[in-house]
């Protein structure tokens, strides 16, 4: 059963070594992420599952290793404590590994990558399956909102981006699984949203848990990309 969740964005710039001289710009975002992950630790889970966007779907039982070398930093990060860590082929999981370095969560860990074009029903089903893996399951869900919020955004300006992100932010703050489950895959892809599939895994995991409440800790669009941080418990 899902007992807690943290939702964080996954720009590599969250890692100060990657951001270099611009690191201070995202300090409020880092603080919000740390607060959300603190909720996971306080939930005392039997299992922690990290879910992030990836090029292809894959589950790493026991976690694995992720490298920051693609971003100019010679550093390897670990997710979990497995004896023979496999490479985590997902930038979002690398960012998750960096976030989790700062908080001790004494629970086994699985890492899960989900592709951006994954069908909605499959993501909801995956979430339900993850929630059934242990009596107390916590999720760390990594994904960004629209990358089309400004003229200088990676996806240029799209007038649909701001209302899309506003709806997502409200749903994350209210632990509204129906809104997250109803996010349109085609529109999400057009707006370059990396979080749609991970958020729908969260929605599926939470559907069988009564009484979950949400709190929105961060909702901004630096660099023209929607970043949200939320905690559910």
Q: What is the pLDDT of residues 123-150, one digit of tens each?
A: 999 999 999 999 999 999 999 999 999 9
User: If you ran DSSP here, which 8-state letter would residue 9 be given?
Assistant: -
pLDDT tens figures, 88-114 = 878 999 999 999 998 889 899 999 999
* Cα gap 121→165, rounded to integer Å: 21
The chain-wide mean pLDDT, for the chain, equals 94
Contact present, 214 and 174 (Cβ < 8 Å): yes
- Total-model pTM: 0.96
Sheet holding 227-232, edge to edge: 58-61, 109-115, 47-54, 137-142, 2-8, 227-232, 214-220
Q: Give domain 2-232's CATH number out of 1.10.510.10, 3.90.1210.10, 3.40.830.10, 3.40.50.9100.
A: 3.40.830.10
Contact present, 123 and 108 (Cβ < 8 Å): no
């Amino acid at each position: 059963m899902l007992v807690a969740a943290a939702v964080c964005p996954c720009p590599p710039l969250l890692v100060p070594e990657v951001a270099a001289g611009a690191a201070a710009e995202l300090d409020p975002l880092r603080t919000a992420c740390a607060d959300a992950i603190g909720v996971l630790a306080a939930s005392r889970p039997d299992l922690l599952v990290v879910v992030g966007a990836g090029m292809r779907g894959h589950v790493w039982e026991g976690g694995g290793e992720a490298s920051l070398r693609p971003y100019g930093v010679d550093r390897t990060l670990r997710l979990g404590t497995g004896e023979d860590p496999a490479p985590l082929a997902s930038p979002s999981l690398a960012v998750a590994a960096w976030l989790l370095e700062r908080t001790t969560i004494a629970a086994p860990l699985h890492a899960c990558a989900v592709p951006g074009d994954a069908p909605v029903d499959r993501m909801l089903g995956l979430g339900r399956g993850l929630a059934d893996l242990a009596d107390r399951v916590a999720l760390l869900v990594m994904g960004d909102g629209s990358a089309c919020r400004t003229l200088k955004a990676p996806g240029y300006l799209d007038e649909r981006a701001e209302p899309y992100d506003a709806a997502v932010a409200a749903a994350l703050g209210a632990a509204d699984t129906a809104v997250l489950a109803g996010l349109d895959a085609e529109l999400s892809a057009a707006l370059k949203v990396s979080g749609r599939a991970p958020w729908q895994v969260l929605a599926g995991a939470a559907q069988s848990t009564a009484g979950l409440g949400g709190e929105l800790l961060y909702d901004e669009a630096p660099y023209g990309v929607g970043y949200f941080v939320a905690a559910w418990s």
